Chains A and B, each alone.
Chain A
């Protein structure tokens, strides 16, 4: 069964450093998402991406964040200058374009745990 993969599984970085979190969505999916979950809190929407551009972003997704689909398979989230409060689990998700009973279902990756020290 196709699945969303994410690398690395755990990233430790120092405050102020740049990090890039990588995701490989399911191959025929065309909508891509990043979410984060701070420990013990809810899953928060960050950004959605379709047709090579951001289609929606939350207030969390400020100028320190950017997303890219550099090569048609990877989908990356970059944080330019990490802050302590960026420490969280980051989930990538993808969704099919096609209509169907579960076409609105998002498939999530296993997540990358980002620890900013």
Chain B
């Protein structure tokens, strides 16, 4: 039961170009969506998030778009830099069975930015 899906395991982009990472979800009860970046041998680091009541959130080079009707969100990185090379996880927040929040992660997309 994969509620959060990242269908592209990897993506390569030239430095300076746009990176677009995609995420699909199945649970309409998710109220927040988050993107995390993970370097090897480190824990995930929070990047940017979006509430389910919005359709866009921007923070510097990072923009997240949410299409609720399609149950799809995407992370845009412009311009891409070699230091952006990492695994990117999409995560979604929902209430668990005991009424507290839990976070569901996707499988990740490995982004490689080529110099």
Contacts and interface: CB of A to CB of B under 8 A. Distances in A.
Q: Is the interface of A mostly helix, strand, loop or mixed?
A: strand
Interface stretch (A11-19, A71-79, A80-88, A100-108): A100-108
Interface string B87-115: 00101010011101111111110000000
Contact of B46 (A45, A50, A56, A107): A107
Interface string A79-117: 000000000000101000000001011111111000000
Q: Is the interface of B mostly helix, strand, loop or mixed?
A: strand
B100 A102 contact: no
Contacts of B106: 42
Interface in B27-84: 32, 34, 36, 41-46, 49
Given A44-B105, A111-B43, A104 B100 contact: no
Contacts, number: 62
Given A35-B105, A45-B102, 20 more contacts: A6-B43, A42-B89, A42-B105, A42-B107, A43-B91, A43-B105, A43-B108, A45-B103, A45-B105, A48-B101, A48-B102, A50-B100, A55-B96, A56-B97, A56-B101, A56-B102, A104-B32, A105-B49, A108-B45, A110-B42
